A = this chain, B = another copy of it.
Amino acid sequence: MVANRYTSMAYESADEMSFGKTKHPVKAGLGLEIGAGYTIPEVNYAPRPEAGASKEKLVNEYERITTDIMQRMVQVGFPAVILETEHVQQMSNNPEWGAEVAHAQKTIMEEYHDEYGIKCALRHTIGDIRENRDFLQLRGDKYSVFMEAFEKCAENGADLLSVESMGGKEVFDYAILRNDIAGMLYGIGCLGTLDMDMIWSDIAAVAKKTGTIAAGDTDCAQANTAMFIAGGLLDKNLAHTLAIIARAISAPRSLAAYENGALGPGKDCGYENVIIKAITGMPMTQEGKTSTCAHSDVMGNLIMQCCDVWSNESVEYHGEFGGTSVQCRGESLAYDCALMNTALETGNEKVLRDMFMLSDRYRDPQGYVLAYDNAYKVGEAIVKDGDNIYLRAKNAAIECCNIVEEGVAGKLSISRFEAGALKDAKAALDALPDDMDQFMDDCLTKYQSEVKVFLPENYGF
């Protein structure tokens, strides 16, 4: 299948965007319609380490988790919920494990739906198991197991299919610790997109066959890695201005899922999803201030601005004074959604959206660029050359630099160090060729010699 590249925006203007509303709502699971005027909590969890000992223990752990969440939702009166199971390795490497977990969870969800009428859906996020100890093996032996994992889960109860895929990561990991913008662009924008095209046309086919939804991917392996290394305001491992360039480049990469048949909701940790929503008009999950259990970020409110589903990313299953961790986080998420839904029902969604956005707009250059108005501009830069995966990624990076520069001329203050990194990045971007083939050839030569784990055959070269 050939990817349907986006060359225009779904929204006329940035201001048209809001949380809870999309151009293309998605019907899924038991009674849910996602992005259709209300927001939905999506609870994420990790089994305790000891639960991985056997398939029975693991299934049992997920059953407890599922019951706990459903029970708390009805206890506090929340009308809808999504559960996301991010596979532990065993579940993807042995697709029947994943399938059994999906089945066990869905059975419980159906009981609650029948008894209480609560609307719900189950997302399974398959692990990207296409690697061995030393190398990525994107097209190797494991590809069929990988696809089988999607299919088995879909057949056994999963409603939404996702993955956090890793194409391009070998080059990116090398580049990000060396301020190497060309490498980031090559890793995420080019290699990443090529791999996305391959896997998402296949995942979409599985979804079609099984009557489920191909939901979306995130550039966790790259843009989030950059965000993590960048860390908090006082960390000194990576300039935050570089982290946001990586993020901008990740938008056209993750967009490829939707160009190959995914329908959303995009996966929680894709901070690039706001750009993708502007382009596609599809629903997106986001995570932020209520996913502190999983990671710290510098835009915890801002990222709620246009979410349709609201997630805690991940929490290890354990007891807290207020219940189990999944109940506690689930309840917090659901209250956040109740607030957004109240805004939607009373026509105040835009002022709430703006407050979410403004409270972090100047906290960090990353938040500044992802503010919905600026994110929309990055989207425009992408669709301008939507057919050229290299150019659109480069456009995104350049637009990102421009936005930060404009910000600095206004109320965004950045450290001298961040400013220096931005200047160098801009210069590096300006020095890049306009021609995709030339760029691809240059990079292939360079990274084949510099990055010993980079195998061109992973990308069909």
Q: In the complex where A300-B332, A327-B292, A332-B300 touch, is A343 in contact with B355 (Cβ < 8 A)?
A: yes
A432 is an interface residue with CB less than 8 A from chain B: no
A320 neighbours in B (Cβ, 8 Å): 292-294, 315-316
Minimum-distance CB pairs A-B, first 7 = A75-B232, A289-B335, A292-B328, A342-B359, A300-B335, A338-B359, A292-B331
CB-defined contacts of A292 to chain B, threshold 8 Å: 320, 322-323, 327-329, 331-332
Find A296's partner among B235, B318, B322 (CB 8 Å cutoff): B322
Task: Indicate with 1 or 0, residue by residue over A339-380, a CB within 8 angstroms of chain B CB atoms.
Answer: 101110010100110011011100110000000000000000
Asked whether, in the complex, the Cβ of A301 is within 8 Å of the Cβ of B335, the reply is: yes
Cα A332 to Cα B76 in complex, Å, equals: 20
Determine how close the nearest CB of chain B comes to the CB of A73; give it in whole angstroms: 10
Chain copies in the assembled complex: 2
Bound-state CA distance A231–B76 (Å) is 9
> Bound state CA distance, A232 and B75, in angstroms?
5
Q: Tell whether, in the assembled complex, residue A355 and residue B339 are in contact, meaning their CB atoms are under 8 Å apart.
A: yes
B346 touches A355 (CB 8 A): yes
Q: Is the CB of A359 within 8 A of B331?
A: no
User: Could you say which of A232, A292, A296, A328 has the most chain B C-beta atoms within 10 Å of its C-beta?
Assistant: A292
Determine the residue in chain B with the shortest Cβ distance to A292: B328
A24 close to chain B: CB less than 8 A: no
- 19 A–B pairs (Cβ distance < 8 Å), ordered by A: A74-B233, A75-B231, A75-B233, A75-B235, A76-B297, A76-B298, A76-B300, A76-B363, A290-B332, A293-B322, A293-B328, A300-B332, A300-B335, A301-B338, A301-B339, A316-B320, A339-B355, A346-B355, A352-B355
**A234 on the interface (CB 8 Å rule)?**
yes
Chain B residues within an 8 Å CB radius of A316: 320-321
Docked Cα-Cα span, A332 to B364, in Å, equals 17
In contact, A360 and B338 (Cβ under 8 angstroms) = yes
CA distance A331 to B300 in the complex (A): 9
| Inter-chain pairs besides A46-B321, A352-B352, 7 sampled, C-beta below 8 Å | A72-B296, A75-B234, A76-B233, A77-B363, A292-B320, A292-B332, A296-B328
A contacts, CB < 8 Å to B: 46, 72, 74-77, 231-235, 288-298, 300-301, 314-316, 318, 320-323, 327-329, 331-332, 335-336, 338-339, 341-343, 346, 348, 351-352, 355-356, 358-360, 363-364
8 Å CB contact of A342 from B76, B234, B332, B355: B355
A327 partner residues in chain B, CB cutoff 8 A: 292, 296
Contact between B359 and A296, CB atoms less than 8 A apart: no
Please tell me if the beta carbons of A296 and B76 are within 8 angstroms of each other in the complex: yes
**A416: shortest Cβ distance to chain B, in Å?**
17
Give min CB distance, A359 to chain B, whole Å.
4
Instruction: Tell me the bound Cα distance from A359 to B338 in angstroms.
Output: 6
Contact of A234 among B74, B318, B323, B336 (CB under 8 A): B74
**Once bound together, how far apart are the Cα atoms of A255 and B429, in whole Å?**
64
Partner of A293, one of B77, B295, B321: B321
What's the minimum C-beta distance from A325 to chain B, rounded to whole angstroms?
Answer: 8
